Structure 1
Amino acid sequence: MTITLITGANKGLGFETARRLIEAGHTVYVGARDAHRGEEAAARLGARFVRLDVTDEDSVKSAAEFLRADAGRLDVLINNAAIGGARKFGRIGEVTGADMMATFDTNVFGVVRVTHAFLPLLAASEAPVVVNVSSSLGSVAACTDPSRGEFQATALDYNSSKTALVMVTSQYAKALPTIRFNAVDPGFTPTDLNGHQGTQTLAEGTEIIVRMASIGADGPTGGFVDRNGPVVW
């Protein structure tokens, strides 16, 4: 049985990823900071709930202790929790240091907090995998190419946080070769994060997350990919 933890799994991409992985035979732990929403989502899915606020060190440590006692290991960690940031799109001059810190605290530092806390449980797995959910808005190449839609989306805090996440993924992959670390771009998918805008379904958006969560010990590591292949960045 594959033991999987998904952060921010009470809705959107996280919820749909959980549903699909449960369907594939995983035992899924739904991580959410809101206990009521998390428990409700877990009940709907047939999953386990663990309270996990990625911005709270004590919450992350408690979640790791709970999983250690409940499962003894972790095979797949999906760092999905994220925020859209200050939403000052196109108004970069209005973005403050506080805005940047708040966005990075969830989208980057939160991933590091969770990964650090769960590394011992991942080490107990025979084929540990970490999937970090980034975005094509984290691709410098895409965001500086006038022919790409990403060129129009100027969000200093969100975009740069997703760029940083790709580098964080790369560094983990290089330093910890026994764990498969990859960043993924789900694509432009309607969720609460983007005001339910998008050009594809949740199923299409979760395709690459599910695929990379299922790669096993001989799978790729250190990549940034979407459902069509490598993402330029």
Structure 2
Amino acid sequence: MTTTLITGANKGLGYETARRLLEAGHTVWIGARDRARGEEAATALGASFVQLDVSDDASVAAAAATVGAAGGLDVLINNAGITGPQKDAADITGDDATSVFQTNVIGIVRTTQAFLPLLRASSAPTIVNVTSGLGSFDAVHDPSRIESQVIAPLYNASKSAVTMLTVQYAKALPEVRINAADPGYTATDLNGNSGHQTVTEGTDAIVELATRGGQGPTGTFIDRSGVAPF
């Protein structure tokens, strides 16, 4: 039985990923900051809940202890993320940047570090980092793609960092399959449900990486069509 933890899983892409992986036979932990929402999501899906705020060391450490005591972990899906403030680029502050990177980037470092001992004890250790085409230099310079029309300095930069972090972790930790998934333009709360893809379509790349059983390449950036340019 494969045990999977998904951060930020009480709604959107995280919730749909949990639903699909449960359907595929995984034991799933719903990680969420808000206990009430997380427990509600876990109950609805038939998953387990663990309180987990990726921006807080104590919360992440406690979550790792809980999951470890329950039997361990095979797959970590770093899904939690925020868009940050909606304001003109000229008005962005250092505090705004700190907030976005604290969740989107440092949160992955914090969570990976805490759960790595559990993953190393697995026979098929896997990490999936949910990134975005908005962080792809190729996509944002391609006028035929919607990513080129979006100006969101902090969010986009944070997702570029997530993808590079993925590559570096993959090189440093070759015993773990570590890859980045781009959901694509999916209808979620992050974009006011304006995306043209359903959450099921948006989770295709995430589920693909999470169900490889510790096999396949590491350090790649993929979307639902396969390996994507970065």
TM interval, shorter chain, is over 0.9
What's the offset of the Cα at 1:194? 1.0
How far has the Cα of 1:146 moved from its partner?
Answer: 2.5
Matched, 1:187 2:184: yes
SS at match of 2:25: coil
Matched to 2:80, the amino acid is A
Percent identity of the aligned residues? 61
Residue of structure 2 equivalent to 1:81: 80
The residue number in structure 2 matching 1:101 is 98
Q: Which residue does the alignment assign to 2:51?
A: 51
CA RMSD of aligned residues (A): 0.8
| CA deviation map 1:132-153 (0-9, x unaligned) | 0000001011112223211110
Q: How far is the alpha carbon of 1:58 from its aligned partner?
A: 0.3
SS at match of 1:198: coil
Match of 2:116 among 119, 125, 128: 119
1:166 and 2:163 equivalent? yes
Amino acid at match of 2:60: V
Distance 1:70 1:164 in 2: 32
2:214 is aligned with 1:220: no
Distance 2:148 2:94 in 1: 23
How far is 1:217 from its partner? 2.6
CA distance in 2, matches of 1:150, 1:9: 24
Query: Is 1:9 aligned to residue 6 of structure 2?
Result: no
Unaligned runs of 5+ residues in structure 1 are none
Instruction: Give the equivalent residue in structure 2 for 1:62.
Output: 62
Counterpart CA distance in 2 for 1:67 and 1:214 is 19
Q: Deviations over 1:71-124 (max 9, x none)?
A: 2x2100000000011122xx2111111111100000000011000000000001
Match of 1:151 among 148, 163, 166: 148
Give, as a single letter, the amino acid of the residue that structure 2 aligns with 1:80: N
Q: Deviations over 1:172-218 (max 9, x none)?
A: 00000110000010011111111111111111011111110011232
Rounded Cα–Cα distance in structure 1 between residues aligned with 2:211 and 2:113: 21
Separation of aligned partners in 1, 2:40 and 2:125: 28
Q: Which runs of 4+ in 1 moved over 4 A?
A: none
What SS does structure 2 have at the residue aligned with 1:196?
Answer: coil
Inter-partner Cα distance in structure 2 for 1:157 and 1:190: 20
Alignment-derived partner of residue 22 in structure 1 = 22
**1:52-73: CA deviations, max 9, x gaps?**
00000000000001111112x2
Describe the SS at the equivalent of 1:162: helix
The Cα offsets for residues 9-66 of structure 1, whole Å up to 9 and x where unpaired, read as 0000000000000011000000000000000000000000000000000000000011
Q: Could you state the TM-score of these two structures normalised by the residue count of structure 1?
A: 0.97
Provide the C-alpha distance between the structure 2 equivalents of 1:167 and 1:226, rounded to a whole number of angstroms. Answer: 16
Q: For 2:10, what is the secondary structure of its paired residue?
A: coil
| SS of alignment partner, residue 145 of structure 1 | coil
Letter in 1 for 2:133: S
Report the AA paired with residue 137 of structure 2. V
Higher mean C-alpha displacement, 142-151 vs 51-60: 142-151
Q: Flag structure 2 segments of 5+ consecutive residues without an equivalent.
A: none
Partner residue of 1:39? 39
Greater Cα shift, 146-155 or 46-55: 146-155
The AA in structure 1 aligned to 2:73 is: L
